[in-house]
A and B are shown apart, each in its own frame.
Chain A
Amino acid sequence: MDTSVRRAAIAQLKSELLRTMRNKRFVFFTIVMPIAFYFIFTSSMDGDLTVDGIDWAAYYLMSMSAYGVVGSGITTLSQKFSRERSQGWSRLLRITPLPSWAFVLSKVIAQGLINLCMIIILFIIASVVKGVELSAAQWIESGLWIWFGSFSFMALGTLVGTIRNSDVVQVVGMIVYLGMSMLGGLWFPVETMSDTMRAIAHAMPTYWLGHGAWNLIGGGAFDWNGVFVLGAYVIGFVVLSSYIMRKQEAV
Protein backbone atom coordinates (compact mmCIF):
# COMPACT_ATOMS: atom_id res chain seq x y z
CA MET A 1 0.00 0.00 0.00
CA ASP A 2 1.12 3.50 -0.95
CA THR A 3 2.39 5.29 2.19
CA SER A 4 0.04 8.23 1.71
CA VAL A 5 -2.94 5.88 1.44
CA ARG A 6 -1.79 4.05 4.55
CA ARG A 7 -1.48 7.32 6.45
CA ALA A 8 -4.98 8.35 5.38
CA ALA A 9 -6.45 4.94 6.17
CA ILE A 10 -4.89 4.90 9.64
CA ALA A 11 -6.27 8.36 10.38
CA GLN A 12 -9.67 7.16 9.18
CA LEU A 13 -9.38 4.06 11.38
CA LYS A 14 -8.62 6.16 14.47
CA SER A 15 -11.56 8.44 13.75
CA GLU A 16 -13.88 5.48 13.30
CA LEU A 17 -12.79 4.00 16.63
CA LEU A 18 -13.36 7.32 18.37
CA ARG A 19 -16.73 7.81 16.73
CA THR A 20 -18.02 4.37 17.59
CA MET A 21 -16.90 4.52 21.20
CA ARG A 22 -18.54 7.94 21.59
CA ASN A 23 -21.82 6.59 20.28
CA LYS A 24 -23.91 6.03 23.41
CA ARG A 25 -26.42 3.85 21.61
CA PHE A 26 -23.60 1.56 20.50
CA VAL A 27 -22.09 1.33 23.95
CA PHE A 28 -25.46 0.55 25.49
CA PHE A 29 -26.78 -2.00 23.03
CA THR A 30 -23.65 -3.86 22.15
CA ILE A 31 -21.46 -3.62 25.24
CA VAL A 32 -23.62 -2.95 28.29
CA MET A 33 -26.57 -5.11 27.22
CA PRO A 34 -24.69 -8.38 26.56
CA ILE A 35 -22.83 -8.02 29.85
CA ALA A 36 -26.06 -7.29 31.72
CA PHE A 37 -27.87 -10.21 30.02
CA TYR A 38 -24.99 -12.44 30.88
CA PHE A 39 -25.22 -11.60 34.54
CA ILE A 40 -28.99 -11.76 34.67
CA PHE A 41 -29.32 -15.13 32.95
CA THR A 42 -26.40 -16.80 34.62
CA SER A 43 -27.45 -15.66 38.06
CA SER A 44 -31.11 -16.56 37.72
CA MET A 45 -30.41 -20.11 36.51
CA ASP A 46 -29.52 -23.13 38.56
CA GLY A 47 -25.75 -23.22 39.04
CA ASP A 48 -25.47 -26.86 37.95
CA LEU A 49 -27.38 -26.36 34.70
CA THR A 50 -25.70 -27.67 31.59
CA VAL A 51 -26.58 -27.49 27.90
CA ASP A 52 -25.34 -30.41 25.82
CA GLY A 53 -22.96 -31.20 28.62
CA ILE A 54 -21.53 -27.67 28.67
CA ASP A 55 -21.60 -25.68 31.86
CA TRP A 56 -24.33 -22.99 31.50
CA ALA A 57 -22.08 -20.06 32.46
CA ALA A 58 -19.61 -21.02 29.73
CA TYR A 59 -22.34 -21.80 27.19
CA TYR A 60 -24.09 -18.49 27.75
CA LEU A 61 -20.78 -16.61 27.64
CA MET A 62 -20.39 -17.79 24.06
CA SER A 63 -24.00 -16.82 23.32
CA MET A 64 -23.59 -13.31 24.69
CA SER A 65 -20.21 -12.71 23.07
CA ALA A 66 -21.74 -13.71 19.77
CA TYR A 67 -24.79 -11.56 20.48
CA GLY A 68 -22.57 -8.53 21.16
CA VAL A 69 -20.50 -8.79 18.00
CA VAL A 70 -23.60 -9.45 15.89
CA GLY A 71 -25.09 -6.17 17.11
CA SER A 72 -21.86 -4.32 16.70
CA GLY A 73 -21.58 -5.43 13.09
CA ILE A 74 -25.18 -4.97 12.04
CA THR A 75 -26.21 -1.79 13.80
CA THR A 76 -23.00 0.24 13.77
CA LEU A 77 -21.93 -0.28 10.20
CA SER A 78 -25.43 0.05 8.75
CA GLN A 79 -25.92 3.33 10.61
CA LYS A 80 -22.57 4.72 9.55
CA PHE A 81 -22.96 3.85 5.90
CA SER A 82 -26.53 5.00 5.64
CA ARG A 83 -26.11 8.27 7.53
CA GLU A 84 -22.92 9.16 5.74
CA ARG A 85 -24.61 8.62 2.44
CA SER A 86 -27.75 10.56 3.28
CA GLN A 87 -25.73 13.41 4.76
CA GLY A 88 -23.49 13.83 1.76
CA TRP A 89 -20.33 12.49 3.36
CA SER A 90 -19.73 9.73 0.90
CA ARG A 91 -20.05 12.28 -1.90
CA LEU A 92 -17.50 14.57 -0.27
CA LEU A 93 -15.13 11.67 0.32
CA ARG A 94 -15.25 10.75 -3.34
CA ILE A 95 -13.40 13.95 -4.21
CA THR A 96 -10.69 13.37 -1.60
CA PRO A 97 -7.64 11.22 -2.41
CA LEU A 98 -8.81 8.57 0.07
CA PRO A 99 -9.76 5.53 -2.05
CA SER A 100 -13.22 4.21 -1.27
CA TRP A 101 -11.91 0.72 -0.53
CA ALA A 102 -9.60 2.22 2.11
CA PHE A 103 -12.57 4.04 3.58
CA VAL A 104 -14.63 0.86 3.86
CA LEU A 105 -11.68 -1.21 5.01
CA SER A 106 -10.80 1.20 7.82
CA LYS A 107 -14.40 1.04 9.06
CA VAL A 108 -14.34 -2.77 9.00
CA ILE A 109 -10.97 -2.95 10.76
CA ALA A 110 -12.11 -0.45 13.40
CA GLN A 111 -15.20 -2.52 14.07
CA GLY A 112 -13.08 -5.67 14.11
CA LEU A 113 -10.80 -4.20 16.77
CA ILE A 114 -13.77 -3.13 18.84
CA ASN A 115 -15.31 -6.60 18.52
CA LEU A 116 -12.08 -8.21 19.64
CA CYS A 117 -12.00 -5.98 22.71
CA MET A 118 -15.64 -6.78 23.46
CA ILE A 119 -14.95 -10.50 23.35
CA ILE A 120 -11.89 -10.17 25.58
CA ILE A 121 -13.76 -8.02 28.10
CA LEU A 122 -16.66 -10.49 28.29
CA PHE A 123 -14.30 -13.43 28.62
CA ILE A 124 -12.37 -11.73 31.41
CA ILE A 125 -15.54 -10.81 33.28
CA ALA A 126 -16.87 -14.36 32.96
CA SER A 127 -13.66 -15.93 34.13
CA VAL A 128 -13.03 -13.54 37.01
CA VAL A 129 -16.56 -12.91 38.24
CA LYS A 130 -18.40 -16.05 37.20
CA GLY A 131 -15.47 -18.43 37.52
CA VAL A 132 -15.88 -19.92 34.05
CA GLU A 133 -13.13 -22.46 33.50
CA LEU A 134 -11.90 -23.39 30.05
CA SER A 135 -8.57 -24.61 28.77
CA ALA A 136 -6.26 -21.99 27.25
CA ALA A 137 -6.87 -23.49 23.82
CA GLN A 138 -10.63 -23.32 24.30
CA TRP A 139 -10.53 -19.68 25.36
CA ILE A 140 -8.42 -18.72 22.35
CA GLU A 141 -10.19 -20.87 19.81
CA SER A 142 -13.71 -19.91 20.81
CA GLY A 143 -12.73 -16.24 21.04
CA LEU A 144 -11.18 -16.30 17.61
CA TRP A 145 -14.14 -18.18 16.17
CA ILE A 146 -16.57 -15.53 17.36
CA TRP A 147 -14.24 -12.79 16.22
CA PHE A 148 -13.81 -14.15 12.71
CA GLY A 149 -17.51 -14.88 12.52
CA SER A 150 -18.28 -11.29 13.47
CA PHE A 151 -17.06 -10.10 10.07
CA SER A 152 -19.98 -11.78 8.34
CA PHE A 153 -22.34 -9.61 10.36
CA MET A 154 -20.47 -6.52 9.24
CA ALA A 155 -21.28 -7.62 5.71
CA LEU A 156 -24.91 -7.84 6.77
CA GLY A 157 -24.53 -4.35 8.26
CA THR A 158 -23.40 -2.92 4.94
CA LEU A 159 -26.39 -4.57 3.29
CA VAL A 160 -28.83 -3.00 5.77
CA GLY A 161 -26.93 0.28 5.30
CA THR A 162 -27.88 0.44 1.63
CA ILE A 163 -31.36 1.58 2.68
CA ARG A 164 -31.40 5.30 1.97
CA ASN A 165 -33.44 6.54 4.91
CA SER A 166 -31.23 6.35 7.99
CA ASP A 167 -34.18 6.31 10.39
CA VAL A 168 -35.50 3.24 8.64
CA VAL A 169 -32.01 1.74 8.80
CA GLN A 170 -31.96 2.17 12.56
CA VAL A 171 -35.24 0.33 12.96
CA VAL A 172 -34.45 -2.39 10.43
CA GLY A 173 -30.98 -2.85 11.92
CA MET A 174 -32.45 -3.33 15.39
CA ILE A 175 -35.11 -5.76 14.18
CA VAL A 176 -32.59 -7.82 12.23
CA TYR A 177 -30.16 -7.77 15.14
CA LEU A 178 -32.59 -8.67 17.90
CA GLY A 179 -34.66 -10.97 15.70
CA MET A 180 -31.72 -12.96 14.42
CA SER A 181 -30.20 -13.19 17.88
CA MET A 182 -33.38 -14.51 19.38
CA LEU A 183 -34.28 -16.86 16.52
CA GLY A 184 -30.71 -18.10 16.23
CA GLY A 185 -30.66 -19.23 19.84
CA LEU A 186 -28.29 -16.62 21.26
CA TRP A 187 -30.79 -15.49 23.89
CA PHE A 188 -32.19 -18.90 24.77
CA PRO A 189 -30.53 -22.17 23.74
CA VAL A 190 -32.01 -23.90 20.68
CA GLU A 191 -32.21 -27.05 22.82
CA THR A 192 -35.17 -25.45 24.62
CA MET A 193 -36.98 -24.64 21.38
CA SER A 194 -39.77 -26.45 19.57
CA ASP A 195 -38.92 -28.35 16.38
CA THR A 196 -40.21 -25.59 14.12
CA MET A 197 -38.28 -22.91 15.95
CA ARG A 198 -35.22 -25.09 15.88
CA ALA A 199 -35.51 -25.49 12.13
CA ILE A 200 -35.73 -21.71 11.80
CA ALA A 201 -32.73 -21.30 14.09
CA HIS A 202 -30.66 -23.54 11.85
CA ALA A 203 -31.23 -21.13 8.98
CA MET A 204 -29.89 -18.19 10.98
CA PRO A 205 -26.26 -17.13 10.61
CA THR A 206 -26.41 -16.21 14.30
CA TYR A 207 -27.01 -19.86 15.18
CA TRP A 208 -23.93 -20.93 13.27
CA LEU A 209 -21.84 -18.24 14.92
CA GLY A 210 -22.89 -19.51 18.34
CA HIS A 211 -22.78 -23.15 17.35
CA GLY A 212 -19.12 -23.05 16.33
CA ALA A 213 -18.19 -21.58 19.70
CA TRP A 214 -20.41 -23.92 21.75
CA ASN A 215 -18.93 -26.80 19.83
CA LEU A 216 -15.36 -25.73 20.56
CA ILE A 217 -15.87 -25.42 24.31
CA GLY A 218 -17.87 -28.67 24.35
CA GLY A 219 -14.86 -30.49 22.96
CA GLY A 220 -16.43 -31.09 19.56
CA ALA A 221 -14.62 -31.08 16.23
CA PHE A 222 -14.03 -27.86 14.35
CA ASP A 223 -17.28 -26.72 12.82
CA TRP A 224 -16.67 -26.75 9.07
CA ASN A 225 -20.39 -26.58 8.42
CA GLY A 226 -20.48 -23.31 10.28
CA VAL A 227 -17.60 -21.94 8.24
CA PHE A 228 -19.42 -22.93 5.09
CA VAL A 229 -22.75 -21.39 6.12
CA LEU A 230 -21.24 -18.15 7.42
CA GLY A 231 -19.02 -17.89 4.36
CA ALA A 232 -22.02 -18.32 2.09
CA TYR A 233 -23.88 -15.61 3.99
CA VAL A 234 -20.91 -13.22 3.64
CA ILE A 235 -20.75 -13.76 -0.09
CA GLY A 236 -24.50 -13.29 -0.36
CA PHE A 237 -24.51 -10.07 1.71
CA VAL A 238 -21.54 -8.56 -0.09
CA VAL A 239 -22.80 -9.39 -3.57
CA LEU A 240 -26.25 -8.07 -2.78
CA SER A 241 -25.10 -4.85 -1.12
CA SER A 242 -22.58 -4.00 -3.82
CA TYR A 243 -25.21 -4.68 -6.46
CA ILE A 244 -27.67 -2.35 -4.74
CA MET A 245 -25.05 0.34 -4.23
CA ARG A 246 -23.96 0.20 -7.84
CA LYS A 247 -27.56 0.56 -8.94
CA GLN A 248 -28.09 3.52 -6.62
CA GLU A 249 -24.94 5.30 -7.72
CA ALA A 250 -25.50 4.90 -11.45
CA VAL A 251 -26.27 8.45 -12.50
Chain B
Amino acid sequence: MKDWAIQISNVTKVYKGKKAVNDLSLTVEKGSVVALLGPNGAGKTTTVSMILGLIQPTSGSVKLLGGDPKERSVRDRIGAMLQDVSVIENLTVAETIDLFRHYYKTPLPLAQLLQISGLTNERSKMASALSGGQQRRLGFAMAAAGDPEVLFLDEPTVGMDVTSRQLFWDTVKAMAGRGRTIVLTTHYLEEADQIADRIVVINDGRLVADGTPSQIKATTIGRTITFTAGSSVTNEVLYGISGVTDAEWNGRRVRLYSSDTDRLIAELIMRGVEMKDIEIQSGGLEEAFRSLVSSAKED
Protein backbone atom coordinates (compact mmCIF):
# COMPACT_ATOMS: atom_id res chain seq x y z
CA MET B 1 0.00 0.00 0.00
CA LYS B 2 1.25 3.43 -0.86
CA ASP B 3 1.73 6.18 1.64
CA TRP B 4 -0.65 8.92 0.58
CA ALA B 5 -0.18 12.55 1.52
CA ILE B 6 -3.46 13.60 -0.06
CA GLN B 7 -6.55 11.64 -1.02
CA ILE B 8 -9.44 13.44 -2.66
CA SER B 9 -12.32 11.39 -3.94
CA ASN B 10 -15.20 12.61 -6.06
CA VAL B 11 -15.06 16.10 -4.63
CA THR B 12 -17.50 18.71 -5.87
CA LYS B 13 -17.79 22.28 -4.67
CA VAL B 14 -20.76 24.38 -5.68
CA TYR B 15 -20.60 28.16 -5.31
CA LYS B 16 -23.80 30.05 -5.97
CA GLY B 17 -25.11 27.33 -8.26
CA LYS B 18 -21.83 27.06 -10.18
CA LYS B 19 -19.54 24.07 -9.90
CA ALA B 20 -16.11 25.47 -9.05
CA VAL B 21 -14.81 21.93 -8.66
CA ASN B 22 -16.57 19.11 -10.42
CA ASP B 23 -16.19 15.48 -9.30
CA LEU B 24 -12.45 15.68 -8.82
CA SER B 25 -10.46 12.69 -7.61
CA LEU B 26 -6.77 12.87 -6.94
CA THR B 27 -4.21 11.10 -4.82
CA VAL B 28 -0.76 12.41 -4.07
CA GLU B 29 2.00 10.16 -2.88
CA LYS B 30 4.31 11.30 -0.08
CA GLY B 31 7.51 12.86 -1.32
CA SER B 32 6.19 13.96 -4.67
CA VAL B 33 6.11 17.45 -6.10
CA VAL B 34 2.78 18.05 -7.79
CA ALA B 35 1.79 21.08 -9.77
CA LEU B 36 -1.87 21.91 -10.22
CA LEU B 37 -1.87 23.67 -13.54
CA GLY B 38 -4.73 25.56 -15.06
CA PRO B 39 -5.98 28.97 -16.08
CA ASN B 40 -7.32 31.48 -13.57
CA GLY B 41 -10.67 30.39 -12.25
CA ALA B 42 -10.08 26.74 -13.12
CA GLY B 43 -10.67 25.64 -9.54
CA LYS B 44 -7.07 25.19 -8.37
CA THR B 45 -7.35 27.44 -5.34
CA THR B 46 -10.74 25.98 -4.44
CA THR B 47 -9.20 22.52 -4.59
CA VAL B 48 -6.28 23.52 -2.39
CA SER B 49 -8.63 25.27 0.06
CA MET B 50 -10.66 22.08 0.38
CA ILE B 51 -7.56 19.97 0.95
CA LEU B 52 -6.55 22.43 3.68
CA GLY B 53 -9.99 22.30 5.28
CA LEU B 54 -10.56 26.03 4.73
CA ILE B 55 -13.73 25.34 2.80
CA GLN B 56 -16.08 22.40 2.94
CA PRO B 57 -16.68 20.33 -0.19
CA THR B 58 -20.33 20.17 -1.25
CA SER B 59 -19.84 16.44 -1.71
CA GLY B 60 -16.99 13.96 -1.72
CA SER B 61 -14.24 13.34 0.79
CA VAL B 62 -10.83 14.85 1.47
CA LYS B 63 -8.02 13.35 3.49
CA LEU B 64 -4.79 15.08 4.32
CA LEU B 65 -2.00 12.89 5.72
CA GLY B 66 -4.65 10.25 6.33
CA GLY B 67 -6.77 12.50 8.54
CA ASP B 68 -9.07 15.49 8.72
CA PRO B 69 -7.24 18.69 7.72
CA LYS B 70 -8.95 20.48 10.61
CA GLU B 71 -7.20 18.31 13.20
CA ARG B 72 -4.40 19.97 15.08
CA SER B 73 -2.14 16.94 14.65
CA VAL B 74 -2.50 17.26 10.87
CA ARG B 75 -2.00 21.03 10.88
CA ASP B 76 1.21 20.57 12.80
CA ARG B 77 2.63 18.70 9.81
CA ILE B 78 1.60 21.05 7.02
CA GLY B 79 2.40 24.54 5.86
CA ALA B 80 0.92 26.78 3.23
CA MET B 81 1.47 29.91 1.26
CA LEU B 82 -1.98 31.21 0.46
CA GLN B 83 -3.01 33.90 -1.97
CA ASP B 84 -4.04 37.36 -0.81
CA VAL B 85 -2.41 37.14 2.58
CA SER B 86 -0.81 40.39 3.58
CA VAL B 87 1.91 40.75 6.22
CA ILE B 88 1.09 41.17 9.89
CA GLU B 89 1.44 44.78 11.01
CA ASN B 90 3.93 46.13 13.51
CA LEU B 91 6.16 43.07 13.57
CA THR B 92 9.61 42.70 12.04
CA VAL B 93 10.50 39.95 9.59
CA ALA B 94 12.32 37.91 12.23
CA GLU B 95 9.51 38.41 14.77
CA THR B 96 6.89 37.27 12.29
CA ILE B 97 8.81 34.11 11.39
CA ASP B 98 9.58 33.41 15.01
CA LEU B 99 5.91 33.74 15.94
CA PHE B 100 5.06 31.11 13.36
CA ARG B 101 7.87 28.85 14.59
CA HIS B 102 6.18 28.78 17.98
CA TYR B 103 2.97 27.38 16.52
CA TYR B 104 4.67 24.09 15.59
CA LYS B 105 6.14 21.24 17.58
CA THR B 106 9.35 20.84 15.57
CA PRO B 107 10.14 24.14 13.87
CA LEU B 108 13.11 24.84 11.64
CA PRO B 109 15.75 27.19 13.11
CA LEU B 110 15.07 30.89 12.57
CA ALA B 111 18.42 31.47 10.87
CA GLN B 112 17.70 28.72 8.37
CA LEU B 113 14.25 30.11 7.58
CA LEU B 114 15.70 33.57 7.05
CA GLN B 115 18.33 32.08 4.80
CA ILE B 116 16.02 29.97 2.64
CA SER B 117 13.69 32.91 2.14
CA GLY B 118 16.63 35.18 1.34
CA LEU B 119 15.60 37.62 4.04
CA THR B 120 18.62 37.47 6.34
CA ASN B 121 19.52 41.08 5.61
CA GLU B 122 15.93 42.21 6.09
CA ARG B 123 15.41 40.42 9.40
CA SER B 124 15.03 43.61 11.48
CA LYS B 125 12.87 45.41 8.95
CA MET B 126 9.17 45.82 9.58
CA ALA B 127 7.41 43.20 7.51
CA SER B 128 5.09 45.84 6.07
CA ALA B 129 8.14 47.68 4.66
CA LEU B 130 9.13 44.75 2.42
CA SER B 131 8.61 44.76 -1.34
CA GLY B 132 5.88 42.58 -2.84
CA GLY B 133 8.32 39.84 -3.81
CA GLN B 134 9.98 39.92 -0.40
CA GLN B 135 6.59 39.65 1.28
CA ARG B 136 5.87 36.53 -0.75
CA ARG B 137 9.21 35.07 0.35
CA LEU B 138 8.30 35.90 3.94
CA GLY B 139 5.09 33.98 3.32
CA PHE B 140 7.21 31.06 2.22
CA ALA B 141 9.32 31.22 5.39
CA MET B 142 6.11 31.14 7.45
CA ALA B 143 4.82 28.18 5.46
CA ALA B 144 8.09 26.35 6.03
CA ALA B 145 8.39 27.36 9.70
CA GLY B 146 7.07 24.09 11.08
CA ASP B 147 9.26 21.95 8.79
CA PRO B 148 6.07 20.67 7.11
CA GLU B 149 5.69 17.24 5.58
CA VAL B 150 3.27 18.68 3.07
CA LEU B 151 3.84 22.16 1.76
CA PHE B 152 1.16 24.00 -0.23
CA LEU B 153 2.13 26.87 -2.47
CA ASP B 154 -0.82 28.65 -4.04
CA GLU B 155 0.41 30.77 -6.96
CA PRO B 156 3.62 31.40 -5.02
CA THR B 157 5.52 33.46 -7.56
CA VAL B 158 2.83 36.05 -8.25
CA GLY B 159 4.41 39.42 -7.56
CA MET B 160 7.98 38.13 -7.64
CA ASP B 161 10.60 39.50 -9.98
CA VAL B 162 12.83 37.20 -12.03
CA THR B 163 15.59 36.98 -9.43
CA SER B 164 13.16 36.32 -6.59
CA ARG B 165 11.46 33.68 -8.69
CA GLN B 166 14.70 31.81 -9.40
CA LEU B 167 15.81 31.94 -5.78
CA PHE B 168 12.38 30.78 -4.76
CA TRP B 169 12.31 27.74 -7.01
CA ASP B 170 15.83 26.77 -5.95
CA THR B 171 14.64 26.77 -2.35
CA VAL B 172 11.55 24.75 -3.14
CA LYS B 173 13.70 22.22 -4.96
CA ALA B 174 15.91 21.93 -1.91
CA MET B 175 12.83 21.27 0.25
CA ALA B 176 11.62 18.67 -2.23
CA GLY B 177 15.04 17.05 -2.12
CA ARG B 178 14.50 16.42 1.58
CA GLY B 179 11.53 14.18 0.84
CA ARG B 180 8.83 16.77 1.45
CA THR B 181 5.56 16.60 -0.42
CA ILE B 182 4.92 19.81 -2.28
CA VAL B 183 1.68 20.87 -3.90
CA LEU B 184 1.80 24.04 -5.92
CA THR B 185 -0.63 25.81 -8.17
CA THR B 186 0.37 27.86 -11.15
CA HIS B 187 -0.91 28.95 -14.51
CA TYR B 188 2.52 28.82 -16.08
CA LEU B 189 3.43 25.56 -17.76
CA GLU B 190 7.15 26.38 -17.60
CA GLU B 191 7.02 26.80 -13.84
CA ALA B 192 5.25 23.50 -13.38
CA ASP B 193 7.71 21.85 -15.73
CA GLN B 194 10.73 23.25 -13.92
CA ILE B 195 9.79 22.09 -10.47
CA ALA B 196 7.21 19.32 -10.49
CA ASP B 197 7.57 15.62 -11.06
CA ARG B 198 3.87 15.42 -11.74
CA ILE B 199 1.49 17.86 -13.34
CA VAL B 200 -2.24 17.79 -12.84
CA VAL B 201 -4.12 19.96 -15.29
CA ILE B 202 -7.40 21.38 -14.08
CA ASN B 203 -9.87 23.28 -16.18
CA ASP B 204 -13.44 24.25 -15.36
CA GLY B 205 -13.18 22.38 -12.08
CA ARG B 206 -12.34 19.10 -13.76
CA LEU B 207 -9.15 17.12 -13.95
CA VAL B 208 -8.23 17.14 -17.62
CA ALA B 209 -4.74 15.65 -17.55
CA ASP B 210 -2.40 14.02 -15.08
CA GLY B 211 1.15 12.93 -15.82
CA THR B 212 4.83 13.70 -15.79
CA PRO B 213 5.88 17.06 -17.21
CA SER B 214 7.13 15.41 -20.42
CA GLN B 215 3.84 13.58 -20.88
CA ILE B 216 1.92 16.78 -20.35
CA LYS B 217 4.16 18.71 -22.68
CA ALA B 218 3.83 16.05 -25.33
CA THR B 219 0.08 16.07 -25.07
CA THR B 220 -0.09 19.81 -25.22
CA ILE B 221 2.44 20.63 -27.86
CA GLY B 222 2.56 17.22 -29.53
CA ARG B 223 0.70 14.00 -30.06
CA THR B 224 0.79 10.37 -29.10
CA ILE B 225 1.23 7.11 -30.97
CA THR B 226 -0.40 4.08 -29.40
CA PHE B 227 0.12 0.48 -30.53
CA THR B 228 0.25 -3.08 -29.31
CA ALA B 229 3.92 -3.92 -29.10
CA GLY B 230 5.48 -7.18 -30.20
CA SER B 231 7.60 -9.23 -27.79
CA SER B 232 10.90 -7.75 -29.04
CA VAL B 233 9.86 -4.25 -28.02
CA THR B 234 11.26 -3.08 -24.68
CA ASN B 235 11.31 0.22 -22.87
CA GLU B 236 15.01 0.64 -23.68
CA VAL B 237 14.36 0.17 -27.36
CA LEU B 238 11.65 2.80 -27.34
CA TYR B 239 13.60 5.37 -25.37
CA GLY B 240 16.50 4.81 -27.76
CA ILE B 241 14.43 6.28 -30.58
CA SER B 242 14.87 10.00 -31.00
CA GLY B 243 11.67 12.00 -30.65
CA VAL B 244 10.18 9.82 -27.91
CA THR B 245 9.60 11.97 -24.85
CA ASP B 246 7.84 9.32 -22.83
CA ALA B 247 6.47 5.80 -23.04
CA GLU B 248 3.53 4.51 -21.09
CA TRP B 249 2.80 0.78 -20.84
CA ASN B 250 -0.54 -0.82 -20.27
CA GLY B 251 -0.01 -4.55 -20.65
CA ARG B 252 1.46 -4.86 -24.17
CA ARG B 253 -0.26 -1.69 -25.24
CA VAL B 254 2.19 1.19 -25.32
CA ARG B 255 1.66 4.91 -25.75
CA LEU B 256 4.52 7.04 -27.01
CA TYR B 257 4.58 10.77 -26.46
CA SER B 258 6.28 12.92 -29.03
CA SER B 259 6.20 16.45 -30.29
CA ASP B 260 6.40 15.20 -33.88
CA THR B 261 4.42 12.02 -34.45
CA ASP B 262 4.82 12.14 -38.24
CA ARG B 263 8.55 11.75 -38.01
CA LEU B 264 8.27 9.27 -35.15
CA ILE B 265 5.98 6.91 -37.04
CA ALA B 266 8.40 6.96 -39.99
CA GLU B 267 11.25 6.24 -37.63
CA LEU B 268 9.36 3.37 -35.96
CA ILE B 269 8.58 1.74 -39.30
CA MET B 270 12.10 2.25 -40.57
CA ARG B 271 13.50 0.56 -37.49
CA GLY B 272 11.09 -2.30 -37.91
CA VAL B 273 9.57 -1.98 -34.45
CA GLU B 274 6.90 -4.68 -34.07
CA MET B 275 3.58 -2.85 -33.93
CA LYS B 276 -0.09 -3.76 -34.31
CA ASP B 277 -3.27 -1.66 -34.19
CA ILE B 278 -1.52 1.65 -34.54
CA GLU B 279 -3.38 4.77 -33.48
CA ILE B 280 -2.11 8.28 -33.86
CA GLN B 281 -3.92 10.69 -31.58
CA SER B 282 -4.17 14.40 -31.47
CA GLY B 283 -5.03 14.19 -27.75
CA GLY B 284 -8.18 15.63 -26.23
CA LEU B 285 -6.14 17.98 -24.13
CA GLU B 286 -5.19 20.31 -26.88
CA GLU B 287 -8.29 22.29 -26.56
CA ALA B 288 -8.06 22.50 -22.81
CA PHE B 289 -4.57 23.73 -23.19
CA ARG B 290 -5.32 26.23 -25.85
CA SER B 291 -7.67 27.94 -23.42
CA LEU B 292 -5.04 27.58 -20.76
CA VAL B 293 -2.31 29.16 -22.81
CA SER B 294 -4.52 31.96 -24.03
CA SER B 295 -5.60 32.89 -20.53
CA ALA B 296 -2.00 32.74 -19.35
CA LYS B 297 -1.15 35.28 -22.03
CA GLU B 298 -3.75 37.67 -20.71
CA ASP B 299 -1.92 38.08 -17.42
Identify the A interface with B (CB < 8 A): 4, 7-8, 10-12, 15, 18-20, 22-23, 83-84, 87-89, 91-92, 94-99, 251
Contacts and interface: CB of A to CB of B under 8 A. Distances in A.
Interface in B42-98: 52-56, 69, 72, 75-76, 78-80, 82-86, 88-91, 95, 98
B90 A19 contact: yes
Nearest to A9: B102
B239 interface: no
Contacts of A11: 98-99, 102-103
Interface of chain B: mostly helix, strand, loop or mixed: loop
A10 B76 CA distance: 17
Nearest to A3: B105
Contact of A15 (B86, B91, B104, B142): B91
Given A7-B102, A22-B90, A96 B85 contact: no
10 nearest A-B pairs in the assembled complex, by CB-CB distance: A11-B102, A88-B85, A87-B86, A19-B90, A22-B90, A97-B76, A97-B75, A96-B103, A98-B103, A8-B103
Contacts of A88: 82-86
A218 to B, nearest CB: 40
Contacts of A96: 75, 100, 103-104, 146
Contacts of A92: 80, 82, 85, 142
Contact of B90 (A23, A94, A99): A23
A20 B88 CA distance: 12
Contacts of A95: 52-54, 69, 75, 78-80, 82
Interface of chain A: mostly helix, strand, loop or mixed: helix
Contacts, number: 73
B183 to A, nearest CB: 13
Given A4-B105, A12-B99, A91-B54, A19 B80 contact: no
A15 B99 contact: yes
22 contacts: A4-B76, A7-B102, A11-B98, A15-B88, A15-B91, A19-B89, A87-B85, A87-B86, A88-B83, A88-B86, A91-B85, A92-B142, A95-B53, A95-B78, A95-B79, A96-B100, A96-B103, A97-B72, A97-B146, A99-B72, A251-B55, A251-B56
Interface of B: 52-56, 69, 72, 75-76, 78-80, 82-86, 88-91, 95, 98-100, 102-105, 142, 146
Nearest to A90: B85
Contacts of B91: 15, 18-19
A248 to B, nearest CB: 13
A197 B52 CA distance: 53
Nearest to B55: A251
Nearest to A19: B90
A99 B78 CA distance: 15
A111 B105 CA distance: 27
A20 B91 CA distance: 10
B43 to A, nearest CB: 15
Contacts of B79: 95
B101 to A, nearest CB: 8
Nearest to A87: B86
A8 B79 CA distance: 16
Contacts of B95: 15, 18
Given A4-B76, A15-B91, A19-B91, 12 more contacts: A8-B102, A8-B103, A11-B102, A11-B103, A88-B83, A89-B85, A91-B85, A94-B53, A96-B100, A96-B103, A97-B146, A251-B56
